[in-house]
Copies of this chain bind each other. A is one copy, B any other.
């Protein structure tokens, strides 16, 4: 599951090291807003890049917490399993997003993180990160913003799960993906779903059949085109209105 790292040459160690300054995600990710000097210091502590194959676990529930992970490439899902064995996907993460923050409170991971496609992350040893916080207030401040953002993200999922109808949930899901791809410089109207219908359903508190029906319905309403996992959003205004909970005459 892990890539081989046995006795690498200096060169290959350097190659394996992540470098924030040359990473295309550095204006989204942890080093956001850092000067060159600070970014170098952050680079110093960041461990190797780690490749995670499709369906591979980045970490599992109850694993001891040592690293945060910044996604460099690919997509992940995080999911919780309760005592009854039911799983709930708590989020889909993409490049520039941070994984593992939920583990800080107990020093153990509270969920599984699984790659949705072949992916790559930067290991960030949390203890060393904490050492930097003392002298890098900008870094600390952005770290707090990222944790806070995770809190607000989860709150909006609570709103979605607690108050919205299936149709509204799914519209909100699509609009959210679109906006995140847009932020990353990708098309916000044409993209590949990295997750299965089952994953989407689980995340949205619906069944796979419901997701399938919603896709068909939206297709018939000419809100989108679907081809397997490729999605083209044709009517963002209506989708946004649906996601916001405004009445839409169909």
Contacts and interface: CB of A to CB of B under 8 A. Distances in A.
A88 B130 contact: no
User: Which of the listed residues A101, A133, A149, A158 has the most CB atoms from chain B within 10 Å of its own CB?
Assistant: A158
Contact of A155 (B80, B86, B133, B152): B80
Contact of A158 (B90, B137, B145): B90
Interface residues of A, number: 49
A75 B62 CA distance: 32
Contacts of A90: 155, 158-159
Interface stretch (A16-24, A102-110, A115-123): A102-110
A201 to B, nearest CB: 10
Contacts of A87: 163
Nearest to A201: B162
Contact of A145 (B105, B156, B202): B105
Interface in A127-180: 130, 133-135, 137, 140-141, 144-152, 154-159, 161-163
A245 B85 contact: yes
Given A88-B159, A130-B137, A147-B151, 7 more contacts: A80-B158, A83-B246, A88-B162, A110-B155, A147-B147, A150-B151, A154-B155
Interface of A: 80, 82-88, 90, 101-106, 110-111, 130, 133-135, 137, 140-141, 144-152, 154-159, 161-163, 202-205, 244-246
A148 B105 contact: yes
Contacts of A203: 162
